[in-house]
Amino acid sequence: MSINATLLGQAISFALFVWFCMKFVWPPLMKAIEERQKKIADGLADASRAEKALDLAQAKAGDQLKQAKEQAAEIIDAANKRKNQIVDEAKQEAEAERAKIIAQGQAEVEAERNRAKEELRKQLAILAVAGAEKIIERSVDEAANADIVDKLVAEL
């Protein structure tokens, strides 16, 4: 085992290899690694940002839902009130109409009765006079008893 020129050859090739590695091998590999690291870091940052945005959106959606429910309840309340109001109004109107119709009917019935009464009274007077005439024809003359007949008619 002797030391010889092989040593020089090895040293020269070593120097060339290191130079080549430093110039052409290391930089692109390091660049790719660093780019990927950056990509991954960006991706992770994006993911956490998206998570935050999701939380925010969920909170907002919850708020809006609550608001909408409140509004719906208000609208239903108002509608119920209005309904009751309308029903009451209709009831009152119907009541008034009924009273009016009943009053009218009673007035008509009253008028009819009065008319019938008058008619009956007239015919009864005629009937009474006729009856009296028949009686008087036999006993006294008609003129002497006319005042009695009139009295009778007036009493009917």
Partner 1 sequence: MAAQGEELTVQGYIQHHLTNATMCTTENGISFNYACQDAGFWTWHIDSLLFAVGLGVLFLWAFYKVGQKATAGVPGKFQCFVEILVEFVDGVVRDSFHGRNALIAPLGLTIFVWVFLMNLMDLVPVDFVPHAAVLMGIPYLKIVPTTDLNMTLGLSLSVFALIVYYSIKVKGVSGFVKELTLQPFNHWALIPVNFVLETVTLIAKPISLALRLFGNLYAGELIFILIAALLPWWAQWSMSLPWAIFHILVIVLQAFIFMMLTIVYLSMAHEDH
Query: Is the CB of 41 or the CB of 65 nearer to partner 1?
Result: 41
- Please enumerate in sequence order all residues whose Cβ is within 8 A of that of 145, keeping only pairs 6 or more positions apart, or say none: 132, 136
Min. distance of Cβ 45 from partner 1 in angstroms?
Answer: 16
Min. distance of Cβ 49 from partner 1 in angstroms?
Answer: 21
Query: Is the CB of 31 or the CB of 82 nearer to partner 1?
Result: 31
Query: Is the CB of 8 or the CB of 143 nearer to partner 1?
Result: 8
Min. distance of Cβ 48 from partner 1 in angstroms?
Answer: 21
> Which stretches of the chain bind partner 1, using CB under 8 A?
1-11, 13-15, 17-18, 20-22, 24-33, 35-36, 38-39
Query: Is the CB of 15 or the CB of 111 nearer to partner 1?
Result: 15
